[in-house]
């Protein structure tokens, strides 16, 4: 682990571990409190596995009342709490703190209601994303947001991170497919935002909670929209001999008024890696490979795919293949969906970045990434949700080599700064977590961040819920010369920091 | 005003008038900062199209943003437009039209209701109120289309969140919190909003059907079908004579479903929808594109309530509850129409008083929904709650308000007493 700074560990909390356990036993069955080193080890990291830290202890509540009582107890006794779903997050949002109670939602794993009349599903937060689709697919419905970890990631975690996926261009991210949540605030208050209605009255607290990375409340129930599965889906697999041509093709498809269900680009390195891994039949000589998926009715899809084909030809594509069956379409996606494991084959570790950029800047940004890759002598492969401008460079390195990890972090930061520079965002769908915390100063000034912290403090005055995430811990920001520090004072000195 | 204040205030000379119409962001910030220091409550407005919605409250000055207007950047291929908050929807639509794009959420036009003529207001107003039109169930409302904003909080500080790209989870999604907050948290200055291609064509299927229950079943089945409708509305028979279209050959109430897309696709989907709803050609009229557009435009603009003398309420419930809701409300002498495929009920009501309003509110709440009083008599406004809120959410909202506007100077009391 590198020099990542986390909130100061409270020795008094560490030394009261036994007392805390005995108090929590009044709330929970003792089987649901884990404190032995071997029991808590599985919780020491999430999918940002370069960072590890064991929590003080782990609790596994089974009811919303227990969640409320745990939070209230921790709030009253100033104990930090880190909530955790399936632990698949890529930005370290569920990384424990040494003196925290890790609140695992693992036992909240049931679908509570399938309501076809209102086309929604009510689920507990640790139901996996894909399980929702599985529960309704026989009736020809599905849940649209599909992060690539959908087999394992939890729906509550999706809400906390506002997860996207391949289909978010046409169908939106989690926030656009969420109708309601039940949530517990740090002081133990249980409440609901939204429900089964479209929009909710008053401040959009549902929208605020979505993507708040577990800092504002613990989600205990989720109501999501389900959509009728499209009748037909067809994909085009298109090769280009330059990235520029692929980029132009994307822009033209959009400009012509076509909104595909998915539009993905992989660079040559990733095309080759994924093809070797999954034998998907990709055009491995192409500099860029694009998958465009259209869905709808038969006539609509046939018409649109023809138009996409014409646009691709006009933009000098080097190869084009249209799926003739659903089997073939899924085969096109197999490689793309295996991008992570395929990179795992190329290097001991990889770090997946998550910048957003204007679609038209793709070629420019990839050129810069190539330059940086040479500068840091670290190989990189790129996957790109081209439709919505979300870029995932995968930097390959060896985490056992601390110098390489440091270089990887720097390389990653430089990519993200560049994304912001061209008009994009630090994170498109993975969240800030600990990973991009210090980069927040690239996107926001002090006042912007202060306003966000004011909201945090309004709902969690002692900053006990998932502290150390999202907001910069100032010193580093200041050291890098981006923040003006007066007389050695830290930024936001009046908010509690632990 | 002290010398120092005057200097800070140099971007804005004339503070003496009651209505302040700044045309620069710094001036907007200066005005709010000054009002923050002096505890001066401000009413925020644009073109006044939704001024009547919300509670009456005391303000000393009006901050009118209609002079702060203009397109900052429009990138059709990136599917966004960035505008100053006082820009009129009309202007934005004209610009988008040239590139065959649109604001897909079809903001509700309250002009006909309050004033007998169209007034779509400004983009800042549309987002502050978050009222979306018929396409809501398919594409989301205003809050689903905002990508980012700059604004001035109640301390006079310029803040921002989001950006111009669709995928962005950097920090809290403040754009959503500000959207629908009726100007009580921040003054919008710049707004980046998602735009989408206009469909090639639109046609509307009107089903001959005399019954509300059956009508709601059709709407629900259409929304659950693979025909991907983008509008689904029910007008009872008493509104029938407001729709005189040559293409409209059916009698009685109007059960209408809109299909949009390319010509080929529309015709196929309409055919398919008839199949799925198990109805034959004879029981339907098809509104061809031109008439279809007018029909939905009228729906979006609440045309049936033009110059309405009575009060108007807006109830949102899960679609499964709409039939029982309407039945339960019959004793109140209502007229209604149903939008969003059954999820939204516009209720015209005679002789509203605070007791009746509270009864209706509680009925709607029991069906899992909420009620907003859109148009009520001035005399009644002082004694009723326009919006609904429970105690827990009130406490949370109060804290959120304080974090943006600690001295409660931005539209104080517009939504709730004390907020």
Asked if the C-beta of B340 comes within 8 angstroms of chain A's C-beta atoms, the answer is yes
What pLDDT does A201 receive?
86
- Shared-domain flag, residues B403 and B371: no
Is the pLDDT confidence value at B305 over 50?
Answer: yes
| B264 burial via Cβ count (<10 Å: 0-12, 13-18, 19+) | middle
B70-103 per-position pLDDT tens digit: 999 999 999 999 999 999 999 999 999 999 999 9
Contacts of A257 in chain B (CB under 8 A): 100, 197-198, 200
Please say if the pLDDT value at position B1 is more than 90: no
Residues B152 and B239 in one domain: no
> Please, are residues A94 and A117 in contact by the beta-carbon 8 Å criterion?
no
DSSP-assigned letter for residue B78: G
B55 and B150 share one domain = yes
Q: If we measure between CA atoms, which residue out of A432, A368, A490 comes closest to residue A93?
A: A432
Q: How confident is the model at residue B249 (pLDDT cuts 50, 70, 90)?
A: confident
Long-range contacts of A417-422 (CB under 8 A, 24+ apart): A417/A442, A418/A355, A418/A365, A418/A368, A418/A369, A419/A355, A419/A356, A419/A357, A419/A365, A419/A391, A420/A355, A422/A357, A422/A358, A422/A361, A422/A364, A422/A365
What pLDDT shows up at residue A474? 55
Check CB contact under 8 Å for B388 and A201: yes
| B178 and B119 share one domain | yes
Domain boundary among B260, B279, B300: B300
* Least reliable range by pLDDT among A431-435, B194-198, B244-248, B305-309: B244-248
| CA neighbor of B186 nearest in space, from B406, B416, B417 | B406
* Closest residue, chain B, to A450 (C-alpha): B159
- Is residue B220 located within the same domain as residue B314? no
Chain A residues with CB under 8 Å of B201 CB are none
* Cα–Cα dist A178/A173, whole Å: 9
In angstroms, the separation between the Cα of residue A173 and the nearest Cα of chain B is: 8
Interface ipTM: 0.96
- Shared domain check, B318 and B296: no
- The answer on B412 and B349 residing in a single domain is no
Residues A386-420: pLDDT tens digits?
A: 988 999 999 999 988 989 999 999 999 999 999 99
Q: Please state, in angstroms and rounded to a whole number, the distance separating the CA atoms of residues B150 and B167.
A: 18
CA distance B126 to A198: 17
| Residue ranges of chain A whose pLDDT lies below 50 | 1, 475-498
Give the integer Cα–Cα distance in Å for A158 and A219.
Answer: 11
At residue A489, the pLDDT reads: 43
Domain CATH for B368: 3.30.70.120
**Facing residue for A208 by CB, picked from B167, B172, B226:** B172
Residue A399: predicted pLDDT: 85
- Cβ-defined contact of A451 to B198 (cutoff 8 Å): no
Pair (B278, B328) in one structural domain: no
- End position of a domain, from candidates B300, B330, B354: B300
Half-sphere exposure of residue B84: CA atoms within 13 angstroms, side-chain side: 18
Q: What is the pLDDT of residue B4?
A: 52
Over the stretch A184-227, which tens digit does the pLDDT of each residue have? 999 999 999 999 999 888 999 999 999 999 999 999 999 999 99
Please give the average per-residue pLDDT across B389-415, as a whole number. Answer: 97
Domain count, chain B: 3
What are the backbone angles phi and psi of residue A159, rounded to the nearest 5°?
A: -70, -45
Nearest residue in A to B199, CA atom:
A257
Q: Which residues of B touch A440 (CB under 8 A)?
A: 170-171
Of A117, A204, A211, Cβ closest to residue B320: A117
The predicted model scores a pTM of: 0.94
CB of B363 closer than 8 Å to CB of B327: no
Q: Where are the beta strands (DSSP E) in B132-283?
A: 146-153, 158-162, 186-194, 196-197, 201-208, 231-235, 254-261
Residue in A closest to B393 by C-alpha: A191
Residues 37-96 of B with CB under 8 A from A: 75-79
Chain B residues within 8 A of A425 when measuring between CB atoms: 163, 165, 167-170
Element (H, E) at B284: strand B284-287
Domains for chain A: give ranges and CATH numbers. Answer: 11-104 (3.30.43.10), 111-228 (3.30.465.10), 232-339 (3.30.70.3450), 347-421 (3.30.70.2740), 445-498 (no CATH)
Structure tokens at A409: 């972090």
Residue B270 and residue B143 share a domain: no
Contact B415 A202 (CB under 8 A): yes
At residue B2, the pLDDT reads: 56
Q: Say whether pLDDT at B223 is over 60.
A: yes
Q: How far is B357 from chain A (nearest CA, A)?
A: 16
Which chain A residues are Cβ-neighbours of B173 within 8 angstroms?
162, 175, 207-208, 210-212
Residue B375 has pLDDT above 60, yes or no: yes
The pLDDT tens digits of the residues spanning B120-156 come to 999 999 999 999 999 999 999 999 999 999 999 999 9
Strand partners, B169: none
CB–CB contact A254 B272 (8 Å): no
How far are the Cα atoms of B184, B397, B417 from residue B58, in angstroms, in the given order? Answer: 13, 20, 11
What's the pLDDT tens digit per position in A220-254? Answer: 999 999 999 999 999 999 999 999 999 999 999 99
Same domain, B209 and B101: no
Q: Residue B217: which CATH number?
A: 3.30.70.2190
The pLDDT of residue A264: 95
As a whole number, the mean pLDDT across chain B is: 94
* Locus of tokens 């008083």: B353
Domain that holds residue B377: 307-381
In a shared domain, residues B33 and B143: yes
The answer to which of B83-87, B159-163, B348-352 has the lowest mean pLDDT is B348-352
Burial label, A280 (beta-carbon count in 10 A; 0-12, 13-18, 19+): buried
Distance CA B96, CA B93 (A): 5
CA atoms within 13 A on the CB side of A4: 24
B402 and B287, same domain (yes or no): no
C-alpha–C-alpha distance, residues A149 and A129, integer Å:
9
Q: Which residues of B touch A202 (CB under 8 A)?
A: 180, 387-389, 393, 397, 415-416
d(CA B43, CA B128): 13
- The answer to whether residue B321 scores a pLDDT higher than 60 is yes
Candidates A81, A66, A78, A80; CA nearest to A25 is A66
């Amino acid at each position: 682990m590198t020099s990542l700074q986390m909130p100061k560990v409270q020795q008094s909390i560490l030394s009261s571990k036994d007392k805390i356990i005995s108090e929590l036993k009044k709330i929970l069955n003792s089987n649901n409190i884990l404190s032995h080193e071997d029991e808590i080890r599985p919780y020491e990291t999430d999918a940002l596995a370069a960072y590890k830290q064991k929590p003080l202890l782990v609790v596994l509540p089974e009811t919303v009342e227990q969640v409320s009582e745990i939070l209230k107890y921790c709030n009253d006794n100033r104990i930090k709490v880190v909530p955790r779903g399936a632990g698949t997050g890529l930005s370290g949002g569920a990384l424990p703190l040494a003196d925290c109670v890790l609140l695992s939602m693992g036992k909240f794993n049931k679908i509570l209601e399938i309501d076809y009349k209102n086309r929604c599903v009510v689920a507990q937060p640790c139901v996996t994303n894909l399980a929702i689709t599985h529960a309704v697919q026989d009736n020809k419905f599905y849940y649209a947001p599909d992060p690539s970890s959908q087999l394992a990631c939890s729906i509550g975690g999706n809400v906390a991170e506002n997860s996207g996926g391949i289909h978010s261009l046409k169908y939106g991210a989690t926030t656009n497919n969420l109708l309601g949540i039940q949530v517990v605030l740090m002081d133990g208050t249980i409440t609901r935002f939204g429900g089964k209605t479209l929009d909710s009255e008053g401040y959009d607290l549902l929208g605020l909670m979505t993507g708040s990375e577990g800092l504002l409340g613990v989600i205990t129930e989720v109501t999501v929209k389900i959509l009728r599965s499209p009748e037909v889906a067809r994909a085009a697999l298109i090769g280009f001999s330059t990235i520029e041509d692929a980029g132009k093709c994307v822009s033209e498809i959009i400009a012509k008024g076509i909104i595909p269900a998915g539009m993905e680009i992989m660079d040559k390195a990733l095309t080759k890696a994924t093809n070797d891994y999954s034998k998907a039949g990709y055009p491995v000589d192409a500099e860029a490979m694009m998958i465009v998926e259209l869905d709808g009715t038969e006539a609509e899809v046939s018409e649109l795919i023809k138009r996409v084909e014409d646009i691709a030809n006009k933009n000098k594509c080097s190869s084009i293949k249209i799926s003739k069956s659903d089997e073939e379409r899924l085969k096109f996606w197999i490689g793309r969906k295996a991008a992570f494991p395929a990179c795992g084959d190329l290097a001991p570790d990889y770090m997946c970045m998550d910048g957003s950029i204007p679609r038209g800047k793709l070629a420019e940004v990839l050129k810069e990434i190539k330059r940086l890759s040479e500068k840091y002598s670290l190989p990189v492969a790129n996957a790109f949700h081209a439709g919505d401008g979300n870029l995932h460079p995968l930097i390959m390195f060896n985490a056992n080599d601390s110098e390489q990890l440091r270089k990887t972090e720097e390389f990653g930061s430089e990519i993200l700064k560049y994304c912001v520079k061209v008009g994009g965002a630090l994170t498109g769908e993975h969240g800030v977590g600990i990973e991009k915390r210090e980069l927040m100063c690239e996107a926001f000034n002090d006042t912007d961040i202060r306003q966000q912290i004011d909201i945090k403090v309004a709902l969690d005055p002692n900053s006990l819920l998932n502290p150390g995430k999202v907001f910069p811990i100032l010193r580093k920001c200041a050291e890098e010369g981006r923040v003006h520090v007066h007389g050695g004072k830290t930024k936001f000195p009046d908010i509690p920091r632990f | 005003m002290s010398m120092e204040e005057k200097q800070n205030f140099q971007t804005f000379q004339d503070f003496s008038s009651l209505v302040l119409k700044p045309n620069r962001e710094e001036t907007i910030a200066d005005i709010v900062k000054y009002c923050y220091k002096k505890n001066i409550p401000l009413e925020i407005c644009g073109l006044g199209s939704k001024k009547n919605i919300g509670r009456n409250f005391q303000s000393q000055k009006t901050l009118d943003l209609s002079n702060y207007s203009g397109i900052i950047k429009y990138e059709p291929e990136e599917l966004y437009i960035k505008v100053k908050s006082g820009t009129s929807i009309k202007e934005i639509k004209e610009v988008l039209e040239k590139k065959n794009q649109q604001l897909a959420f079809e903001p509700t036009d309250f002009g006909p209701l309050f004033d007998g003529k169209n007034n779509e207001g400004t983009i800042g107003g549309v987002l502050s109120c978050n009222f979306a039109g018929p396409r809501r169930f398919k594409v989301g409302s205003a809050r689903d289309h905002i990508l980012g904003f700059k604004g001035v909080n109640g301390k006079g500080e310029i803040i921002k969140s989001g950006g111009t790209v669709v995928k962005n989870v950097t920090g809290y999604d403040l754009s959503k919190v500000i959207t629908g907050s009726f100007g009580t948290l921040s003054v919008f200055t710049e707004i980046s909003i998602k735009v989408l291609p206009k469909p090639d064509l639109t046609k509307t299927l009107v089903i001959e059907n005399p019954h509300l229950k059956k009508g709601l079943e059709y709407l629900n089945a259409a929304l659950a079908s693979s025909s991907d409708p983008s509008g689904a509305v029910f007008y009872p028979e008493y509104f029938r004579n407001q729709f005189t279209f040559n293409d409209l050959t059916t009698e009685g109430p109007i059960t209408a479903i809109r299909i949009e897309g390319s010509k080929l696709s529309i015709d196929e989907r309409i055919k398919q929808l008839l199949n799925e709803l198990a109805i034959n050609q004879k029981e339907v009229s098809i509104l061809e594109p031109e008439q279809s557009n007018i029909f939905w435009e009228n729906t979006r603009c609440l045309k049936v309530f033009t110059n309405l003398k009575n009060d108007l309420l807006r109830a949102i419930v899960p679609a499964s509850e709409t039939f029982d809701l309407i039945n339960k409300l019959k004793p109140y002498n209502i007229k209604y129409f149903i939008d969003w495929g059954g999820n939204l009920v516009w209720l015209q009501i005679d002789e509203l008083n605070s007791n009746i309003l509270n009864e209706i509110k509680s009925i709607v709440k029991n069906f899992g929904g909420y009620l907003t009083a859109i148009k009520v008599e001035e005399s009644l406004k002082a004694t009723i709650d326009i919006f609904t809120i429970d105690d827990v959410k009130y406490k949370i909202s109060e804290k959120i308000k304080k974090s943006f506007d600690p001295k409660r100077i931005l539209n104080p009391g517009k939504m709730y007493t004390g907020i």
